[in-house]
Chain A
Amino acid sequence: MNVTINVNGEDRVLDVTGHESLLSVLRNDLELPGTKDACEQGECGSCTVVFDGEAVCSCLVMAADADGSSVTTVEGVSADGELHPVQEAMLAKGAVQCGFCTPGIVVAGSHFLETNPHPSEPEIREALSGNICRCTGYGAILRAFETVTGEGS
């Protein structure tokens, strides 16, 4: 079946035949490898995208069910070659180690700050609780978010 998905502002038409996830078509058919594929169980958050206005795990969205929806991936977070403030802050605070969790954290975190621009530290922790960093670099990630929200320095 043909599905049309608006990805980062552009309508893309795909032929979906089986049970593949949105994650799979983003990476394999649309060649957008920024969204990472790790656990495929919704546990790790590395495949987080904004799907019809909600940050979700793209591995848990059936591609066939995404017809008519709009999706923002990490490739769509920055605009006109300018990094998003979350990306700038993560660079400045050394919040990237192996980098595998980074796209998911950028998408989940930037989406969260749109609805809650001045969160407390526990709110940031809770907002990022679905994103696992196996380098365990949570301290630097938290400090990066605090500089975006004006709490840190």
Chain B
Amino acid sequence: MDFIAAHDLDEALAAKAHQPDALLLAGGTDLMVEINLAHHRPSSVLSLRRVEELQELTAGRIGAGVTWARLERNGHRGLAQAARTVGSPQIRAAGTIGGNVATASPAGDGLPWIIAAEASIEVQSKERGIRTIPWNEFFVGVKRTSLAADEIITAVVVPEDVPIAQEFAKVGARNAMVISTVSCVVIRGDDGFRVALGSVATTPMRATRAEEMINAESTISDSVLDEFAHIVSEEVRPITDHRSTEGYRRHAAGVLARRLVERSLR
């Protein structure tokens, strides 16, 4: 195995340009599982752990190398809530948001917040420099993204005007160490509610029909919330798998979205 430890971003981009098939290693919480279970024996690995440029954490910019442990303490409210539900303290000390974005699992805990915040994914390559990919163009399928082979995810770029009323919750078999059965983020701003869900489609998704319905209402009454939850349940596109059933996920999606709308109003 070829192993390259990049010490700064230029070195990482040069290495990725030279060896586009090199697998990127950050916290190791996804890649090492694949390797240990012998699903994957990459011929070359490029480690990003030492790249200082990926460690930046400000309101507007979350470096790809920022761990869940840091986001739990210093992230935007909804993302901090999501970070606290990732794995265990050991996993949160190692795993990064850039890894979550790159893996692009439908169940990625950080992803519903990214699409509710309408953040962009900043990627870089030696050849083409910086590309900033909007949230709705990055995730294209189950564990598939629009990242090119020679590119590295460098940051999540957060719009300046992201509203501060943000709520995250997920459903799973226990509190710790659980991959979500359904996850949800609600962000409430002057323009209304944004509703994003995970584990209910091939990619994290916005419940646009439910958003349109609730944002047309002037008062959020019980009957409005009932109708809203019903539309969320209809709108999601879950499957039945070893973790849950389609029917349960539809139900839980509606319950979670409704609950988070109520929380965001408190």
Chain A residues proximal to chain B, CB less than 8 Å = 1, 16-19, 21, 40-43, 45, 48, 54-57, 59-62, 64-65, 67, 108, 112, 126-127, 129-132
Contacts and interface: CB of A to CB of B under 8 A. Distances in A.
A108 B89 contact: yes
Contacts, number: 94
B interface: dominant SS: mixed
B221 interface: no
Contacts of A112: 89
Given A19-B41, A43-B177, A130 B32 contact: no
Interface string B48-84: 0100000000000000000001000000000000000
A143 B222 CA distance: 45
Nearest to B27: A60
Interface stretch (B90-98, B157-165, B193-201, B258-266): B90-98
A42 B94 CA distance: 11
Given A19-B1, A43-B177, A65 B90 contact: no
Contact of A60 (B5, B33, B69, B89): B33
A57 B36 CA distance: 13
Contacts of B41: 19
B32 A59 contact: yes
Most B C-beta atoms less than 10 A away, residue of A42, A48, A56: A42
A31 B215 CA distance: 63
A43 B173 CA distance: 14
Most A C-beta atoms less than 10 A away, residue of B29, B87, B88, B93: B88
Contact of A41 (B36, B42, B89): B36
A62 B177 CA distance: 21
A108 B87 CA distance: 14
B130 interface: no
B28 interface: yes
A130 B69 contact: no
B88 A45 contact: yes
B226 to A, nearest CB: 34
Given A19-B41, A65-B5, A129 B89 contact: yes
A55 B5 contact: no
Contact of A65 (B3, B36, B91, B175): B3
A101 B33 CA distance: 20
A72 to B, nearest CB: 14
A19 B34 CA distance: 11
B36 A55 contact: no
Contacts of A61: 28, 32, 94
B35 interface: yes
B239 interface: no
Nearest to B33: A41
B148 interface: no
Given A45-B88, A45-B90, A1 B3 contact: yes
17 contacts: A16-B3, A17-B1, A19-B1, A19-B41, A19-B42, A42-B32, A56-B93, A60-B29, A61-B94, A62-B28, A62-B31, A62-B32, A67-B5, A129-B88, A129-B175, A130-B176, A130-B177
